Amino acid sequence: MTKRIKQAVSRWCYNKIPAPEFYAACKEMGILGIDLVKPDEWPLLKEAGLICTCTPSHSLTEGLNNPANHELCLQQIRASIEANAEAGFPNVVCFSGNRNGISEEEGAANCVAALKQVAGLAEEKGVTLVMELLNSKVNHKDYQADHTDWSVDVCKQVGSPNVKLLYDIYHMQIMEGDLIRTIRDNIDFIGHFHTGGNPGRNEIDDTQEIHHPPIMRAIAETGYTGWVGHEFVPTGDPLTSLRAAYALCDV
């Protein structure tokens, strides 16, 4: 196994499996990072020799594109940055929020203004903020950060090495396609990846349309050193599906 891709997995997709059992299985198959783990499971995570590779912070729908949300969102982001730094975890996820009539220009400016207020703390603590790209066509109607160009522009305006994007392959296949070219062109602004089969956000096997091995090779060839988190909902035996995904992406 070449290990050019550091693989992680989202906890919520496997919530039916008790934490100790799930973490032991992940460790055995070579998955050393778990996304979106609640803090009450962090001790179990550390006991298993794993880390939380992406920590939640604030609301997905009521996000940084609206100044009315800034006080609460920034409070939660700061708390997550501090907790991550203390635990030695790398990333905190944040969200644009839904448009609710806010224009692209206004939403971007509001996100930039908010992120600039926490970028310094992220840099000081060695934690990266990753704004997640989500599709607004199927799963997250009206979500604003639904295209790469808009979101990269936000990162450029913030101008911090610790403010990047969570590039979700499933979501961006729905919104844009052209995955490999987009990843190569924007890798400097990507701090984390998620996988998932389309349609359905299920296994990343040959039952769906996204061919993940060349995408993983393209990611590895950029020199990317962050994590790729599996975030698909298994339809068969969960751990069998996860092992297959791990093998598929071990390029």
pLDDT tens track, the chain, 251 positions:
458 999 999 999 999 999 999 999 999 999 999 999 999 999 999 999 999 999 999 999 999 999 999 999 999 999 999 999 999 999 999 999 999 999 999 999 999 999 999 999 999 999 999 999 999 999 999 999 999 999 999 999 999 999 999 999 999 999 999 999 999 999 999 999 999 999 999 999 999 999 999 999 999 999 999 999 999 999 999 999 999 999 999 99
**Nearest to residue 243, comparing CAs of 205, 194, 199?**
205
Tokens of 31: 């998955």
What are the distances in angstroms from CA 186 to CA 80, 92, 96, 155, 180?
A: 26, 20, 19, 11, 10
**Which of the listed CATH numbers 3.20.20.150, 3.90.230.10, 3.20.20.10, 3.40.470.10 matches domain 6-249?**
3.20.20.150
pTM score: 0.97
What are the distances in angstroms from CA 174 to CA 11, 30, 159, 169, 189?
A: 23, 29, 28, 9, 20
Q: Which residues share a beta bridge with 132?
A: 166
Q: Which helix (H) or strand (E) holds 227?
A: strand 227-230
